[in-house]
C-alpha cells in the first residue's frame, strides 16, 4: 500500500461536513463585517516568507516545504497566508481608492513540524486581515468578529489571551533587557536558546525545554518596556473590548512565532484539546507591507486552525446525518425506492438509499448508523397501498403508510420536512 505522506491526512466526509459548516459560518459572518474573500496561490517565492515571517523564525529556519523550480526560482508552499495577503495588496494595488482593505481566506497551509494530535504538516486556516488601519478600533473590531464567530460555531470553552509586543521604538529596548537577562543564565539555557540569544532574544520566551521555561518565568515582560504610544494603543483597545464585553485575559508572555508582529498580539486557546490547544492567533503587523516594498500601510488580522476548531466544536449541533434513509424490503421495492430518493434529492434533501435483500432489522440498523432522522420503509404492504411507512429513528415511532409514492417531489419533500420537524 502507498500511504499518505507523514503529517498529511485525508479529511473524511464526517469531519469535512463539520468544516463546511465552519466555513459557511465564516463566509456569512465575515461578509457582515465587510470582509471579502481572497483566493491566494498556495505557492510563493521563498523570499516572501523569509522577509515577512522572519529569517530567524522556526518556520523559515526549519519548517518550510520548498523546492527550486526548473528556471532556478526558489519556491515555497505557503506556511501561512498573511504574507501572501500583504503581497497581493501591493501587487493588486488594493489600497488605490481607499487604503483600507478587508480580506478573508480559507485554505491549506504547510509546515514541516513534528506531527502529533492537532498538529499536521498540511493544515487548514480561516483567516481575516484588515489593512490600512492603525487605530485600536480596527483591532477591537477584528477581535469582536473573532469572538462572535467562535460563539456562533459553538466553540464555547475558549479563552482569548492578549498582549502588546511594542513597536520599533520600544521593542529594541526590551530585546536588550531580555538579552542581558539571558546572558546571566547561560549555564542553564539549552543550546537552541544560546543561538536565540544571539539572533533573536524574544524567542527565548517560546522555548519548550523545562529548564529554560523555569528560568524565563522570571524574565522581564514587554509590558514594563512599552513606550507611551504603544501603552496608549493597548489601553484604548482594552477599553473598546470591555465596552463590547469581549472576554479576554492579558498574557504578557505571548511573543508569537512570526516576526512581523507590532503591538497587538493574541492567541485563542480551547479547553480539552491537549497540547495543541491554540485554535487561533493573530495580531498587528504595521511594518510588513512596507518591508515587502509596498506603501507604509498598517494591518491587523487573525487565523483560525480548522483542524483544531473542528474538534473544539464537534460536540455541537454542526454535524448532522441525512434527513431520511429509504429502505426497500424486497427486490420489487427497489425501483419505487430509487424513484422516491431521486425526487427527494432533487428537492435538496439529504437522503440515503439502501439495497434490498436484508431484514428490516438490519436495514434499520444501517439507517441508524448513518445518523438519519427518518427511515422510510417500502415493503409488500406499502407497495400495495402506494404509501411508505416512516419510522422516526430518534423517537422510535412508526407512522404507517404516510408517504404517498406517486406524489410530486415538492409534496414529498414537504411531507418529509413536516415529519422531521414534528418535534423540532
The rounded distance, in Å, linking the Cα atoms of 236 and 234 is: 5
The rounded distance, in Å, linking the Cα atoms of 263 and 140 is: 13
In the numeric block, which cell numbers belong to residue 343? Answer: 425526487
Helix (H) or strand (E) holding 382: helix 380-385
Work out the number of other CB atoms within 10 angstroms of the CB of residue 313: 24
Q: How far is CA 280 from CA 62, 83, 155, 165, 236, in A?
A: 22, 17, 12, 18, 23
- What does the per-residue mask of binding to ligand HAM show for 246-285, with x meaning CB under 6 A? -----------xx-------------------xxxxxx-x
Site for ligand HAM contains 54 (CB under 6 A)? no
Q: In the complex, which residue's CB is closest to ligand HAM?
A: 305
Q: Within 101-120, which residues bind ligand HAM (CB under 6 A)? A: 111, 113, 119-120
Cβ(81)–Cβ(98) under 8 Å? Answer: no
State which residue, 73 or 116, has the beta carbon closest to ligand HAM.
116
The rounded distance, in Å, linking the Cα atoms of 167 and 170 is: 6
- The window from 11-19, 130-138, 295-303, 333-341 that contacts ligand HAM (CB under 6 A) reads 295-303
Q: Per residue, what are the HEC states of 11-66?
A: CCHHHHHHHHHHHHHHHHHHHHCCCEECCCCCEEEHHHHHHHCCCCCHHHHHHCEE
Q: How far is CA 136 from CA 127, 130, 252, 298, in A?
A: 19, 12, 18, 12
Q: Is the dihedral of CA 327, 332, 336, 341 positive or negative?
A: positive
Instruction: For the CB of residue 199, give the shortest distance to ligand HAM in the complex, in Å.
Output: 19
Answer for which of 52, 57, 82, 164 binds ligand HAM (CB under 6 A) is 82
Answer for which of 286, 307, 354, 382 binds ligand HAM (CB under 6 A) is 307
Q: Within 127-186, which residues bind ligand HAM (CB under 6 A)? A: 127, 129
Instruction: For the CB of residue 267, give the shortest distance to ligand HAM in the complex, in Å.
Output: 7
- The position carrying cell 483567516 is 127
Instruction: For the CB of residue 268, give the shortest distance to ligand HAM in the complex, in Å.
Output: 7
The most distant pair of C-alpha atoms in the chain lies apart, rounded to whole Å, by: 90
| DSSP bridge partners of 374 | 324, 392
Work out the number of other CB atoms within 10 angstroms of the CB of residue 415: 17
Answer for which of 54, 66, 298, 301 binds ligand HAM (CB under 6 A) is 301
State which residue, 22 or 416, has the beta carbon closest to ligand HAM.
22
Instruction: For the CB of residue 45, give the shortest distance to ligand HAM in the complex, in Å.
Output: 17
Q: φ, ψ for residue 237 (rounded to 5)?
A: -60, -45
- What does the per-residue mask of binding to ligand HAM show for 210-249, with x meaning CB under 6 A? ----------------------------------------
Answer for which of 35, 104, 174, 302 binds ligand HAM (CB under 6 A) is 302
Site for ligand HAM contains 387 (CB under 6 A)? no
Site for ligand HAM contains 310 (CB under 6 A)? no
Instruction: For the CB of residue 80, give the shortest distance to ligand HAM in the complex, in Å.
Output: 4
State which residue, 30 or 120, has the beta carbon closest to ligand HAM.
120
State which residue, 258 or 297, has the beta carbon closest to ligand HAM.
258
Which stretches of the chain bind ligand HAM, using CB under 6 A? 80, 82, 111, 113, 119-120, 123, 125, 127, 129, 257-258, 278-283, 285, 301-303, 305, 307-308
Amino acid at each position: 500500500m502507498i500511504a499518505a505522506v507523514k503529517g498529511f491526512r485525508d479529511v473524511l466526509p464526517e469531519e469535512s461536513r463539520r468544516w463546511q459548516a465552519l466555513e459557511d459560518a465564516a463566509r456569512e459572518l465575515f461578509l457582515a463585517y465587510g470582509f471579502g474573500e481572497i483566493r491566494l496561490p498556495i505557492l510563493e517565492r521563498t523570499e516572501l516568507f523569509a522577509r515577512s515571517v522572519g529569517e530567524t523564525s522556526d518556520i523559515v529556519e526549519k519548517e518550510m516545504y520548498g523546492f527550486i523550480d526548473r528556471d532556478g526560482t526558489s519556491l515555497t508552499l505557503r506556511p501561512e497566508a498573511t504574507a501572501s495577503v500583504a503581497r497581493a495588496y501591493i501587487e493588486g494595488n488594493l489600497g488605490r481608492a481607499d487604503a483600507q482593505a478587508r480580506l478573508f481566506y480559507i485554505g491549506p497551509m504547510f509546515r514541516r513540524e513534528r506531527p502529533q494530535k492537532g498538529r499536521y504538516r498540511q493544515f487548514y486556516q480561516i483567516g481575516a486581515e484588515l489593512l490600512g488601519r492603525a487605530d485600536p478600533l480596527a483591532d477591537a473590531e477584528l477581535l469582536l468578529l473573532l469572538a462572535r464567530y467562535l460563539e456562533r460555531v459553538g466553540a464555547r470553552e475558549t479563552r482569548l489571551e492578549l498582549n502588546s509586543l511594542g513597536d520599533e521604538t520600544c521593542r529594541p529596548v526590551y530585546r536588550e533587557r531580555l538579552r542581558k537577562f539571558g546572558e546571566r543564565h547561560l549555564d542553564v539555557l539549552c543550546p537552541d536558546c544560546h543561538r536565540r540569544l544571539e539572533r533573536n532574544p524574544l524567542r527565548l520566551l517560546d522555548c519548550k525545554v523545562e529548564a529554560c521555561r523555569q528560568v524565563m518565568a522570571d524574565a522581564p515582560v514587554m509590558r514594563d518596556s512599552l513606550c507611551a504610544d504603544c501603552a496608549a494603543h493597548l489601553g484604548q483597545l482594552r477599553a473598546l473590548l470591555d465596552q463590547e464585553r469581549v472576554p479576554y485575559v492579558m498574557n504578557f508572555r505571548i511573543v508569537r512565532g512570526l516576526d512581523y508582529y507590532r503591538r497587538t498580539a493574541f492567541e485563542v486557546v480551547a479547553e480539552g484539546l491537549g497540547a495543541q490547544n491554540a485554535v487561533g492567533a493573530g495580531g498587528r503587523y504595521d511594518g510588513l507591507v512596507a518591508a515587502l516594498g509596498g506603501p507604509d500601510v498598517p494591518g491587523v488580522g487573525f487565523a483560525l486552525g480548522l483542524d483544531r476548531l473542528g474538534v473544539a466544536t464537534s460536540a455541537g449541533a454542526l454535524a448532522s446525518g441525512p434527513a431520511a434513509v429509504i429502505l426497500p424490503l424486497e427486490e420489487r421495492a427497489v425501483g419505487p425506492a430509487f424513484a422516491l430518493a431521486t425526487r427527494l434529492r432533487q428537492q435538496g434533501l439529504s437522503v440515503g438509499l439502501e439495497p434490498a435483500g436484508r431484514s428490516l432489522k438490519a436495514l434499520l440498523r444501517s439507517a441508524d448508523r448513518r445518523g438519519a432522522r427518518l427511515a422510510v420503509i417500502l415493503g409488500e404492504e406499502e407497495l400495495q397501498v402506494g404509501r411508505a411507512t416512516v419510522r422516526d429513528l430518534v423517537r422510535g415511532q412508526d407512522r404507517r403508510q404516510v408517504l404517498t409514492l406517486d406524489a410530486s417531489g415538492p409534496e414529498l419533500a414537504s411531507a418529509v420536512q413536516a415529519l422531521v420537524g414534528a418535534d423540532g
